Structure 1
Amino acid sequence: MKVLHAVTLHTPTNDFGGPTRVALNLSRGLRRRGVDARITALGDRFDGPLPDTVEGVPAWLYQARHVLPAFEVSGITSPALLARAHRMVKGADVVHVHLMRDLITLPIALIALRCGTPLVLQTHGMIDPTEKRVAQLVDVLGLRKVLREADAVLHLTEMEREDVAAVIAPDPLRHTHRLVNGVQPQERRPAATGDRPPTVLYLARVQARKRPEDFISAMPVVLAKYPEARFVLAGPDTGPLADEMLALAARLGVADSVEYVGPLGHTEVLEQLRRSDVYVLPSVVEPFAVSILEAMSVGLPVVVTKTGGLSPDVAAAGAGRVVDSRPDADNGPLVGQAILELLDPAANAEASGAAHRLIHDKFSIDAVVEELHGVYEGVIARHGR
């Protein structure tokens, strides 16, 4: 079986976050099963030639052209990639598109429909009803068509499925399938020995909807009990927000306890997770964060909000703490109290074991890939290929 994964962007520092990480995780898992899985995407911010493999996955990367800078990731493309897309699609048994309203994944999905190649879409919570005129035009020009005619549309949560269905209403959304994100189980991090200060970690894109300000404003609560605690803010900054977070820490009088380390490579991510005691992601909306899964894969307890897709699993397993998410309020004290609970050695050890077991039992990449392989076999069979 030959599978082509199409995702918008890959950079050395994983600026595009979840969709690219999911595409890579799935492709690696498929290749372990003997499937010829490959990735095509735009490449950007590389020094020198674009790589032809990414984390062991063969990749067709093309230099990103920022033709519509105001639209950020949605406004980048590559004429060279689109010129070759027809040949890549025709050579695949299944095209798996990590879809957004952009100038790469949507055209590839349309090409797959024209070529008659089985098409699987995965939206990662990026497709929902919108009042933006440009986005509505994109829907009319092609997005609704690919959603209606795809052989399978994968969703993480029921809310995501309902949002995608609303985009094409009153037409029905056919062949939907729930597929969770998965990660490779890792060796559990060592238990804290008290020979270093407690470390609290935020590791995700530094953007408004992920509420990094709640991470920073939790610091005074934690430092009142653990004055030696360290706070690490990590991840690509999508604007000036990282500087604003450091300025907020200065206003709160805690600037000496926080460090912004910027984006990290995947190996560095796992190392940083193992060196930490609590992971915090206080997003207002987070469909199914891979970063939370990666934290739990090494047995790192997590603090997440009730509006996250993984929050019910975290709560049921006891893998961390789930707090309220109030978009118009300072949630820092709530987050801080949750961190304090998990810095207790006994509570930390209990949550660490629960997090590690949860990944093995429910969110291992091998289980997800097995289910996805069944989806591929089904769509190929319906096409008679």
Structure 2
Amino acid sequence: MKILHIVTLHTPDHAFGGPTRVALNLSKAQRAGGDDARIMALGDGFDGPLPREVEGVPVHLFQARHLLPVFEVSGITSAALLRTARRMMRGADLVHVHLMRDLVTLPAALIALATGTPLVVQTHGMVDPTEKRVAQLTDLLGVRRVLRGADAVLHLTEAERVDVNAVAAPVPLTRTVRLVNGVRPQPFKPAREPGRPPTVLFLARIQERKRPEDFVAAMPAVLAEHPDARFVLAGPDTGALPGTLELARRLGVTDSLDHVGPLGHEEVLAAGREADVYVLPSIEEPLGVSVLEAMSVGTPAVITRTCGLGPDVARAGAGRVIDSRVGEDAANADKVARAILELLEPGANAEAGKAAWELVNEHFTIEVVTRTLRRTYEDVVRRRSEGIKRTAAHAT
């Protein structure tokens, strides 16, 4: 099957995060299964020519044009990308658009509808009801049409399914499919060597929504009991790094904080193996790939109840799930610290780490995800074929 994934942006430091990582993971697994899967996106931040391959996946990248800088990633586009997308859709069996309110994936999805190309849409928690007037206008001009016209709409959680239906209202979506994120299975990491200082890891885009300041604010309480502990702050800065580092300075914990910047995919897994606890105190995290990658090597996670993985982690005992609320910084930091301290206890750490590894291997491997997606693709193609046959029969 020839599959064209269309996602907004790829950068050297993976600053766009989840959607691009999901597209890469899916494409790699699909290609390993014999499909011709490739990715089309904007490229930005590269020195020299844009790559033609990423992690073994053929990519068609086009230089990002910052048409509307005020809207940041939603305001970048490329006329050449959209022209090429129309041409490549003619040879594709199916187009998988990782949809957001932007000038790349939205027009690409509209082109798929206009050309009659089978269309699967995945929203990654990025399309939900909003009070923002520009976003409401975008919904009116195109998003609703795409959601209603797509052959399948993929959602990560039940909450996302409800949100997407609310955007598509009053027309109910009948072709929704739950598709979780998946990662490659990994060996269970070895136990921490005796005498090695404990390591606590934050690995995600360093942006306000991910709450890196809650991670730093939890450090004094943890250091009071584990004065040799190391805290690793990893990931590309998307706005919150200066404030996070300034908070560390004010709290006097800079010497215990290692800011390592963005990491490549294998470096991400290595950081997970080195960590004793992974922390992501994010507000409204749909279903974080970085959480799954940490748990895939046997590192327990501290996440919030608004994370889509919260129920799974809590049910499996794969870490700690905490409440976190905007505007309650001191309370949030205290909850993060207590969760970290619980998971640094050797017995609790071993138990939660094993549960985390088993949870990923049972429910969140890329193989499990691609099997579900393959069934969805085949159902889409079958329905399209049957529709064409019915139309031809009526015509005769």
Range 16-25 or range 130-139, more displaced = 130-139
CA contact (8 A) 1:242 1:260 kept: no
Give the CA deviation at 1:145.
Answer: 0.5
Q: 2:316: which partner in 1?
A: 317
Distance 2:194 2:119 in 1: 52
Q: Which residue of 2 aligns with 1:275?
A: 274
**Counterpart position of 1:381:** 382
Mapping for residues 236-275 of structure 1, pairs under 5 Å: 236-239=236-239, 241-275=240-274
Percent of residue pairs bearing the same amino acid type: 67
Correspondence for 1:43: 43
The equivalent of 1:59 in structure 2 is: 59
Q: Is the counterpart of residue 365 in structure 1 residue 390 in structure 2?
A: no
Quick check: 1:25–1:183 contact (8 Å CA) kept in 2? Answer: yes
Query: In the TM superposition, what whole-angstrom CA distance separates every residue of 1:186-235 from its partner, at most 9, and x where no partner exists?
Result: 11221111342111000001111111111011101100000011111111
> How far does residue 124 in structure 1 lie from its aligned partner after superposition?
0.3
Distance 1:335 1:348 in 2: 15
In the other structure, the counterpart of 1:340 is: 341
Query: What TM-score do the two structures reach when normalised by structure 2?
Result: 0.95
d(CA) in 2 for partners of 1:308, 1:218: 19
Q: Matched residues in 2 for 1:171 and 1:223: separation?
A: 54
Q: Tell me the CA shift for residue 93 of structure 1.
A: 0.4
Corresponding residue for residue 136 of structure 1:
136
**Aligned counterpart, 1:194:** 194
- Aligned AA (1:207): Q
Give the residue type in structure 1 aligned to 2:365.
S
Alpha-carbon distance between aligned partners in 1 of 2:17 and 2:116, rounded to the nearest angstrom? 30
Greater mean alpha carbon deviation, residues 175-184 or residues 164-173: 164-173
- The unaligned stretches of length 5 or more in structure 2 are 389-396
Deviations 1:265-312 (A, max 9, x none): 111111111111110000121110000000001111110111111011
Amino acid at match of 2:46: F
The separation in 1 between residues aligned to 2:172 and 2:362, in whole angstroms, is: 34
- 1:32-51 deviation line (CA, Å, top 9, x unaligned): 11111110000111111111
Residue 153 (structure 1) shift: 0.2
Q: Is 1:302 matched with 2:308? A: no
TM-score (norm 1): 0.98
Provide the rounded CA distance (Å) in 1 between the counterparts of 2:259 and 2:242.
9
Aligned to 2:110: 110
Distance across 2 between alignment mates of 1:69 and 1:260: 28
- Report how many residues are paired: 384
- CA displacement 1:335-372 (0-9 Å, x = unmatched): 10110111111211111111111111111100110110
Task: Report the aligned-residue RMSD.
Answer: 1.0
1:375 is matched by which residue type in structure 2?
T
Give the deviation of 1:17 after TM superposition: 0.4
Letter of the 1:204 partner, please give it.
Answer: A
Aligned 1:62-77 pairs, distance under 5 A: 62-77=62-77
Answer yes or no: is 1:327 the counterpart of 2:326.
yes
1:152 Cα deviation from its structure 2 partner: 0.2
**What is the CA–CA distance in structure 1 between the aligned matches of 2:52 and 2:108, rounded to whole Å?**
20
Q: Which amino acid aligns with 1:182?
A: G
SS in 2 for 1:5: strand
d(CA) in 2 for partners of 1:165 and 1:297?
32
**Quick check: 1-10 or 79-88, which moved more?**
79-88
Q: Aligned partner of 2:364: which letter?
A: F
Partner residue in 2 for 1:226: 226
User: In structure 2, what residue type is equivalent to 1:2?
Assistant: K
Structure-1 separation of matches of 2:274 and 2:179: 30
Write the distance in 1 (CA, Å) between the matches of 2:92 and 2:116.
11
Gaps spanning 5+ residues in structure 1: where? none
The one-letter amino acid of 2:378's match is E
Q: Does 1:160 align with 2:160?
A: yes
* Aligned residue type for 2:166: A
Q: Is the 8 A contact 1:120 1:151 kept in 2?
A: yes
